[in-house]
Amino acid sequence: MSFLPQIVFLIIFGAAGYILAKRVKFLKRNILLGKAETRNDQSENRWKTMLLVAFGQKKMFKKFIPAILHLFIYVGFVVINLEVLEFILDGILGTHRLFAPILGSAYTVAMNLFEFLAVAVLAACIIFLIRRNILKVERFQKPEMKGWPALDGNLILVIESVLMLAILTMNASDQILAARGVEHYTLLGTLTFSAPLKPIFEGMSDGALIFIERLAWWFHIIGILAFAIYVTYSKHLHIFLAFPNTWYSNLKPKGEMANMPEVTNEVNMMLGIPTEAPADPPAEIGRFGAKDVNDLSWVNVLNAYSCTECGRCTAECPANITGKELSPRKIMMNVRDRAEEVGKSIDSGGPGLEDGKSLLGDYISKEEINACTSCNACVEACPVNIDPLSIILQMRRYVAMEESGSPAQWNSMFQNMETSFSPWKFSPQDRFNWAESVKDEEMK
């Protein structure tokens, strides 16, 4: 018995594992470029959020048809990959359909389920390709989706389609060989969805069928390993990161903005409210707001890497709808791109964050962040609980507090609030006079 296929399999599997581990280490380091933030409170609510939103796809069902198609792909990805376990064991042990004699008729039932999901995934991928490239759904046609983002989305759909066809081809040729009594091939009974393909292969010789069956097997296993690596460079990283991302969701009410502890402590001290000084005060005063990725929290960077680029946030953004430059999806893509750039620079011995660039200015403009109405529509729309608003507000704080670069009208409002405790420029004492005048008018 030749052990060459097993040796080749182990080499490929080991190489893929090494590349994947190296990439995961790179991603982890990039995410941790962000500042520390603790979000381990309310563990019960966090588990519930993760199960409903990431695992249960709760927010996807705001749009029913895309949700059902996405559900087919999602369930297919999870369930069909159970078969990959058998592929791996067959590759290591040199067996063929290891679980078939163990599970008996249940194995045939399982294979029919896998085939049904393969066909469902194939159909969903084709429909999504049509939506993107023929129907041209508006949210996929935005400027930030030109070039690689559009190609990436299409590549994934094509790859998934080919992998599903490989499963059906493998099963059809396998069962013809089993019916002919070829050694090592097990007759499983009727496999409903691969059966229509059998006439294509019926007239082939045993040698040709074995070649096709083995080619489909190797293509599928190598394709799965390559897909796992490719996903870490793709927007489809959300397949894995959606779970931690939803766990670390912001559970506070949507309208509640996070105060800056430094400013809150200063105000409390001015008002005579006792404050708790940090145990280890920083050696130097930190930056107000965010200019670059290291000024954001690691949760913000995790959000960026979890972005699905689906565009639901941008489609719901009132600023974008009215023609403003702001696109919440672009904000998340920019954060991810900047983290990637800094990470690659660090790994190559370059300047890293000191490369003369910054997230604000080189990637995201003031016009974009100033267009935000802080309405939280993007946060509500995101199917994996990403929070673009948090990043936008932190960058606006930097512009306002570090650069004094807010629009003139805003600065006037800020000054009025500081001196008159309201956006309007009149004395607080005059408010009562104004209220009395309104009351008098109502009584007339």
pLDDT of residue 313: 97
Range of the domain at 103: 4-31+63-236
Question: How would you write the chain as a 3-class SS string?
Answer: CCCHHHHHHHHHHHHHHHHHHHHHHHHHHHHCCCECCCCCCCHHHHHHHHHHHHHCCHHHHHCHHHHHHHHHHHHHHHHHHHHHHHHHHHHHHCCCCCCHHHHCHHHHHHHHHHHHHHHHHHHHHHHHHHHHHCCCCHHHCCHHHCCHHHHHHHHHHHHHHHHHHHHHHHHHHHHHHHHCCCCCCCCCCCCCCCHHHHHHHCCCCHHHHHHHHHHHHHHHHHHHHHHHHHHCCCHHHHHHHHHHHHHCCCCCCCCCCCCCHHHHHHHHHHCCCCCCCCCCCCCCCCCCCCCCHHHCEHHHHHHHHHCCCCCHHHHHCHHHHCCCCCCHHHHHHHHHHHHHHHHHHHHCCCCHHHCCCCHHHHHECHHHHHCCCCCCHHHHHCCCCCCHHHHHHHHHHHHHHCCCCCCHHHHHHHHHHHHHCCCCCCCCHHHHHHHHHHHHHHHC
pLDDT of residue 418: 81
Query: What domain count does the chain have?
Result: 1
Domain for residue 386, yes or no? no
Domain for residue 298, yes or no? no
Domain for residue 10, yes or no? yes
Domain for residue 268, yes or no? no
**What residues in the chain have per-residue pLDDT under 70?**
1-2, 276-285, 444
pTM score, whole prediction: 0.90
Domain for residue 121, yes or no? yes
Domain for residue 209, yes or no? yes
Domain for residue 241, yes or no? no
Domain for residue 380, yes or no? no
pLDDT of residue 250: 94
pLDDT of residue 260: 83
